[in-house]
């Protein structure tokens, strides 16, 4: 069974540009999560989508946005890129299990975004 996939693997942009990152969840998973892992920092929660709706958002400015498509894949858009946006962006997916409080999240390999 295929895991979470992300594209592109690497992305290089310049300040002020926009970046679009893509994620395909494990087949059957309806929730998608985005996390940012900047160098030397821990993973920071960005966004959570479930059944096409944004369920939760981390402490990031509005220029970080995304969406989830009917096939449950997702896009993360970062507008007006800043140097400090350089990081590994990880996508995770999960399947809601009845009776479980927190669903197990399975991570993709990430997209490494470099802003010059």
Partner 1 sequence: RKEVEQDPGPFNVPEGATVAFNCTYSNSASQSFFWYRQDCRKEPKLLMSVYSSGNEDGRFTAQLNRASQYISLLIRDSKLSDSATYLCVVAGASGGYNKLIFGAGTRLAVHP
Q: Name which position in 56, 63, 77, 82 contacts partner 1 (CB under 8 A).
A: 56
Tokens of 54: 């944004």
CB 68 within 8 A of CB 56: no
CB atoms within 10 A of CB 110: 19
Nearer to partner 1, 79 or 86 (CB): 86
Task: For residue 85, give the DSSP letter.
Answer: G
CB 7 within 8 A of CB 22: yes
Q: What is the pattern of x (binds partner 1, CB under 8 A) and - over residues 29-48?
A: --x-x-x-----xxxxx--x
Nearer to partner 1, 79 or 103 (CB): 103
Binding site for partner 1 (CB under 8 A): 31, 33, 35, 41-45, 48, 55-56, 58, 90, 94, 101-110
């Amino acid at each position: 069974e295929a895991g979470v996939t992300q594209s592109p693997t690497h992305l290089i942009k310049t300040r002020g540009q926009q970046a679009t990152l893509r994620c395909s969840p494990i087949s059957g998973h309806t929730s998608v999560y985005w996390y940012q892992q900047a160098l030397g920092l821990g993973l920071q929660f960005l966004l959570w989508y479930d059944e096409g709706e944004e369920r939760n958002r981390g402490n990031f400015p509005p220029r970080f946005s995304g969406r989830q498509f009917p096939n449950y894949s997702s896009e993360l858009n970062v507008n007006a890129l800043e140097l400090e946006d350089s990081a590994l962006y990880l996508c995770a997916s999960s399947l809601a299990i009845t009776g479980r409080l927190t669903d197990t999240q399975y991570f993709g390999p990430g997209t490494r975004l470099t802003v010059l």
